[in-house]
Amino acid sequence: MSTIYILWLRQIKRYSRSRARIIGSLGQPLLFLVALGFGFGPIYAKAGGGDYIQFLAPGIIAMSILFTAVFSGIEIIWDKQFGFLKETLVAPVKRIKIMIGRTLGGATVALMQGVVVLILASLVGFRIENYYYLPIALVFMFLIALFFTGLGTAIASLLEDMQGFQLIMNFLVMPIFFLSGALFPLENLPRAINIVASLDPLSYGVDGLRGAFTGQMHFGFSLDLLVLSVITFLILFLGSYLFSRIEV
């Protein structure tokens, strides 16, 4: 447990030291909240959807967690290239503990990022409808962070250069975000889009967050929690296996 704790703490300190990275990672969520929230707000209201900020904010919180979590995997490639990972892997510690520590650290940082974006969303007009469901929202935020940190770790374990990682991540991350229902309701969509959205893991995270914050849901808490829990366990198992096969 001490090894996992040390690696978890190291990941958090590593991120908190980079002020430019923290500020830069908040720019995109804030832009989406302000530009889309106020830009499409009147159109959304005229269509009978209500306050668009209330609908949009949970999706933007999930987006900030997604980007922070999945790109934490790039640190594995960075450590590979500069030899830091080799020093860690040759230590008399099981690789599964190293992977768990790094993943928990990356997920914690992504969760913190989501909390900061939640505060920013509150400043631009977002309101939590029922604070009793706030712990449930934090559970969904952590599951989203854990899943996508594990996904980033799994992919980074297979690659050797940062350019390849960024290309693959952009190819995966943008469709995952845009088809998750973060920006538009999942009701009454074309059948093909509806099927893809149902296969998108982030859809269940966004739906769970939106239900906890505003009471609006598409799938329901039980299905959201079940799907997220199962796929998170599977991706962590896959990430652990791929990480254990990294050659030093």
Q: Of 148, 39, 150, whose CA–CA distance to 101 is shortest?
A: 150
- pTM for the structure as a whole: 0.88
Q: What are phi and psi of 189, to 5 degrees?
A: -85, 160
The pLDDT score that the predictor gives to residue 164 is 72
The pLDDT score that the predictor gives to residue 225 is 94
Percentage of the residues of the chain whose pLDDT score is greater than 90: 22
- Is residue 4 within a helix (H) or strand (E), and if so which, with residue range? helix 2-16
Q: Pull the structure tokens for residue 174.
A: 């943008």
Kindly state the DSSP code that residue 72 receives in the 8-state scheme: G
pLDDT digits (tens, 9 = 90+) for 81-133: 666 666 666 666 677 777 777 888 888 888 988 998 999 898 888 888 888 88
Cα dihedral sign, 105-107-113-119:
negative
Distance CA 39, CA 85 (A): 45
Cα dihedral 38, 43, 44, 48 in deg (nearest 10): 140
In the chain, which stretches have pLDDT less than 70?
Answer: 1-25, 79-93, 246-248
